Structures are given as C-alpha cells and as structure tokens.
Amino acid sequence: MKAEKIIFIVDDQETNRILAKQALDDRYKTYAIPSADKMFEMLERITPNLILLDIEMPGMNGYDALNLMKMDDKQKDIPVIFLTAKNTRDSVIQGAESGANSYIVKPFKPSLLMERVKQYV
C-alpha cells in the first residue's frame, strides 16, 4: 500500500520529472511540476512532505524559489533536496547556504534518490 507522503518534483525537463516520478511512485504520492511558479500555486493547496527542486529553470530558479519558501511560515520547514545538473563546488555551497537539505546531481541513480528521500520523509 502506498503511503500518503507527498513529494513535489519540480523540474522544467519532462524527462527528469518522469524519471524521478518512476523512482518514487511505488512508495509516495508524487506531483510532477514544470516550474517554480506552478509549485507555489500547488503549495497554496497542498503541503508536501518533501520537494525535489531543480536549480536551473526558466523564470524563477531553484535558489530563488527556496529563498521565497524560507520567508513563508507555512513553507519554511518543508525539506528541499536540490536535484540538478549544476555540479560545481560553488553551486553545492550555495545550495547549502540557501537552506537545501541535500543535493543530488543529475543524471541520478534511482536507488540514490530513494535513499536520500527516505532521510527526509
């Protein structure tokens, strides 16, 4: 039976959303969301247990989205894992400084994704 833990997968690339969804759908209720703006629309109705957030997206990037979440009392405690192709030392440091709970580099292994998710859900 699927647990009712909710995970938002926020990524502008459909392939990445599908891969993450496939890795997690057996255990969690997942929502594949194509942008940070859409994520904030969803957050008005649903509070997820975890957000997987891409950094490099058109419009609002992941850093800015996380900074906005940290300013909102209802959203500031939602764990966020950056799931991104951005793989530089500076981007990892910036992710940690912005309040991300973890950082996974794409392409990711589904087993790694599941292990990280289990740490926060």
Instruction: Return the sign of the alpha-carbon dihedral for residues 69, 75, 77, 80.
Output: negative
Domain range for 68 is 6-120
Residue 1 covered by a domain: no
E strand segments, 1-121: 6-10, 29-33, 50-53, 80-84, 102-105
Q: pLDDT (tens digit, 9 = 90+) per residue, 15-37?
A: 999 999 999 999 999 999 999 99
Task: State how many domains the chain has.
Answer: 1
Q: pLDDT (tens digit, 9 = 90+) per residue, 30-83?
A: 999 999 999 999 999 999 999 999 999 999 999 999 999 999 999 999 999 999
pLDDT band at 91 (very low <50, low <70, confident <90, very high): confident
User: Would the pLDDT of 88 be above 90?
Assistant: no
pTM reported for the whole predicted model: 0.94
Residue 22 covered by a domain: yes
Q: How many CB atoms lie within 10 A of CB 46?
A: 11
Query: Which CATH number do you get for residue 51?
Result: 3.40.50.2300
